[in-house]
Structure 1
């Protein structure tokens, strides 16, 4: 009787756990099997238009999203934080500049950049440099810039403007923290030293981080594509025309939209490009603000560095990112 009971308990413990991957596969399988029925039900011009926009955004953005997630996972698993610490200058102001440029060579998505910055602080890197890297890595890396170039063909100034505005946002926030920031605003747990990954567990760490980031970022991509499709179908084109004529209103709307949508930086350019009636300047604001501050980043920062930090850091970042985008866009895009 005891053996039977033990076997039953063992079976219960071994019950497979359903993850988001299994749910996604099940949804895709149902969609494939019910394809004919769905075509009949959704045979409406507006829905066909919306589905076309949705599929186009997802198909264009997905390769860049996967590439960015793989690179981010590799950096988290195989590049110890002490490597960056060694190349940073001792002077905090100079370290901010180097950390900003390091974002070009060490790309990562927004979600991954928060724990990386926390690890840097735990390795003794100055908070100003760590926060600069947090903002630069997801915004100025080659994957994001190439994705922007693909999303905006024939608009090389858009790529340059995004790079300069995002880099300026990261470095200005770093210098502001170096001048005005206080360590007591950061939770003590964020400053506690963290051990590097063991050599034998690095591939496991890479696979786990890449899978987690892909599922999470993929969900935000799907959400962004759905909202983009809904905007294209439900919002009259005249509304975007009004925002184009009222440039200040358009900038504010796109900045707030970037915060609310919380898109992955590897995919946001395709969503912005789908809003064809919107001028380039508000689109640039959307692309610069999104990777710097949004609702999911605020939650991650509050959980990692403490609510006191997030309540101060996020609003200032929003203002600096919007201002940097407007200045870069006005100079390089002619205010268009």
Structure 2
């Protein structure tokens, strides 16, 4: 009811609900691109029949195919955390002091087989459940590098060098813990996008399976686009980096370390497969190859793209360079301690 100026009482007209406007999202764009690719397959084969483009396409497909199962695995875990794990339970499990919780989160990465793509949505969900960012970031860096699948793959790739497994484990775990402690001291909440820190309630009456499905769908659509962007970047850089570069690094240790660290960022290999690539580079000493194995799961082009999309560009612009430096230093320390130096 509402009263007019003359004092008459009139019934208020109920407002009609505005019709929802249909918006084009990244999912619709992806489906349209795939449909066009299927329809124009013959024409694309003729137009793109160039060696460089074929190589780039192969690398792009390989990166996406390697990473997609683990990305799906990660968003399923992310959805399960949001739906079935109360924030109070996580806070009870982790130590109260962030400095102590960081190494605990690093060691917890042993229990989650997956690659770096899987750890990004899980780390965001941990933050939204009230876990300190430093703890979530330590888990993000440790999970793809210290889990049993990666360590077994490293042992298979280096059958005559059992020290590589221990050196990789120590270097990767040290990288995760040091970065967590650095964030505790120097990190700022405003560097992380607000959406990644928005706390989730323990429950609002929504069915848990609906929360699980909606969270997993949202994370998959959001992270999948940045995975494609990272795959395209990796494919382009793989074509542009000359293969003869590696052959000239056999006797130059310092240059070999720098080049292998940069290649780890550029190639964006899955952490379950990078050990076989490193083992194939037999002309290089073990130390540069160890740097390659420690840096790759911690920072590469597809991971930078995923972090920028999940936590914001301000975060990625600071976190990625710092992680690169810390990972190189930690790999060198573990290599000197375990492998005996410059072998």
The question of whether the paired residues in 1 share the 8 Å contact of 2:226 and 2:306 is answered with: no
Given candidates 279, 282, 293, the residue that maps to 1:284 is 293
User: How high is the TM-score relative to the length of structure 1?
Assistant: 0.70
User: What displacement does 1:274 show?
Assistant: 6.2
The question of whether the paired residues in 1 share the 8 Å contact of 2:168 and 2:293 is answered with: yes
Q: 1:118 to 1:317 in 2, by over 3 A?
A: farther
Matched, 1:131 2:134: yes
Give the structure 2 partner of residue 169 of structure 1.
175
| C-alpha distance in 1 between matches for 2:250 and 2:210 | 48
Give the structure 2 partner of residue 124 of structure 1.
none
User: What displacement does 1:215 show?
Assistant: 2.7
User: What displacement does 1:222 show?
Assistant: 2.7
Give the structure 1 partner of residue 119 of structure 2.
109
Give the structure 2 partner of residue 26 of structure 1.
32
Aligned length: 311
| C-alpha distance in 2 between matches for 1:163 and 1:143 | 5
Matched, 1:220 2:223: no
| C-alpha distance in 1 between matches for 2:56 and 2:224 | 19
> What per-residue deviation string (whole Å, max 9, x for no partner) do you get for residues 262-306 of structure 1?
x6x9x4655786686586224214324318x84764786578xxx
Given candidates 107, 127, 130, the residue that maps to 1:120 is 130
The question of whether the paired residues in 1 share the 8 Å contact of 2:144 and 2:297 is answered with: no
Give the structure 2 partner of residue 68 of structure 1.
74
User: What displacement does 1:20 show?
Assistant: 0.9
Give the structure 2 partner of residue 3 of structure 1.
none
Greater mean deviation of Cα atoms: 309-318 or 235-244: 309-318
Greater mean deviation of Cα atoms: 242-251 or 47-56: 242-251
> What per-residue deviation string (whole Å, max 9, x for no partner) do you get for residues 89-137 of structure 1?
445554333333334446852244145235325xxxxx4xx51332224
Give the structure 2 partner of residue 210 of structure 1.
216
- In structure 2, stretches of 5+ residues that fail to align are 1-14
User: What displacement does 1:237 show?
Assistant: 0.8
User: What displacement does 1:16 show?
Assistant: 1.8
The question of whether the paired residues in 2 share the 8 Å contact of 1:149 and 1:155 is answered with: no
Give the structure 1 partner of residue 92 of structure 2.
86
Greater mean deviation of Cα atoms: 214-223 or 24-33: 214-223
The question of whether the paired residues in 2 share the 8 Å contact of 1:285 and 1:326 is answered with: no
User: What displacement does 1:328 show?
Assistant: 3.1
- In structure 1, stretches of 5+ residues that fail to align are 1-5, 122-126
User: What displacement does 1:27 show?
Assistant: 0.3
| C-alpha distance in 2 between matches for 1:109 and 1:144 | 12
| C-alpha distance in 2 between matches for 1:21 and 1:191 | 24
Give the structure 2 partner of residue 240 of structure 1.
246
Matched, 1:230 2:236: yes
The structure with more radius of gyration: 2
User: How high is the TM-score relative to the length of structure 2?
Assistant: 0.68
Q: Aligned to 2:222, what secondary structure does the other structure show?
A: helix
Greater mean deviation of Cα atoms: 269-278 or 207-216: 269-278
Q: Aligned to 1:46, what secondary structure does the other structure show?
A: helix
Q: 1:159 to 1:207 in 2, by over 3 A?
A: farther
Q: 1:133 to 1:192 in 2, by over 3 A?
A: closer
User: What displacement does 1:233 show?
Assistant: 3.0
The question of whether the paired residues in 1 share the 8 Å contact of 2:138 and 2:176 is answered with: yes
